Structure 1
Amino acid sequence: MEHMEVKNWYHLPLTTGEVAAGEVQQRKEAFSEAFAAARAPRTMALFRQEREDGGVDLFLTPECGEHAAELLAEWECAPCERPSMIGLYLLVGHNEITYYMP
């Protein structure tokens, strides 16, 4: 069996101040534009996960590295492991993404 290349997810932590300033919605809108421009690939998605400190962690699927590299660079997203599905909410993407989760 061939060794599959492991692709990283991407992580963008937002502080409580950024959340209060509407950053989540702004990021969602910017991501929606990139998603539409890429013709809505089925494994490209943006997720959010609430933090106990009131901040929010945004997670972007590995596919975003291919279709939204400029956004990842602009937002200074850090490569990360696949996040836990617990408390993970889909912001932008296809609802069936969880079946294809890399």
Structure 2
Amino acid sequence: MTWYLLTLNAEDVAAGKIAPIKDAFTAAFRAAGGPRAMALFQKVNDVGGVELFFTPDCGNFASDFLTEIGATPCPGPALAGLELLVGHNEITYYLTT
């Protein structure tokens, strides 16, 4: 399954660029009715930046949003270090089965 990735560098993080992306994603999530497998995760990288990962269902419910922010298709991330920003808490169950 194809995930989506947006990488923010340390300067983007310091400039507060995560919050507006999270807010816009939350709006898209709510507009889609809160699908169980639609979620946004973050993972801090080694150079002070952040990788934002969007689950495969985001492509079905928020493809325009993903295009707008420049997210690109990627393989699924390793679960270690992922932090759920938006989505249902049980999403980790879906990711491990």
Which runs of no fewer than 5 residues in structure 2 stay unpaired? Answer: none
Shift of residue 101 of structure 1?
1.6
Paired residue for 1:52?
46
CA distance in 2, matches of 1:36, 1:43: 13
How many residues get paired? Answer: 96
- Candidates 60, 75, 91, aligned match of 1:97: 91
2:43 is aligned with what amino acid? Answer: Q
Shift of residue 26 of structure 1?
1.0
Which runs of no fewer than 5 residues in structure 1 stay unpaired? Answer: 1-6
Deviation beyond 4 Å, 4+ runs, structure 1: none
Question: Is 2:55 the counterpart of 1:61?
Answer: yes
Shift of residue 75 of structure 1?
1.0
Paired residue for 1:85?
79
Paired residue for 2:28?
34
Report percent identity of matched pairs: 51
CA distance in 1, matches of 2:14, 2:62: 25
Tell me how large the CA RMSD over aligned residues is: 0.9
CA distance in 2, matches of 1:32, 1:26: 10
Question: Is 2:14 the counterpart of 1:20?
Answer: yes
Paired residue for 1:4?
none
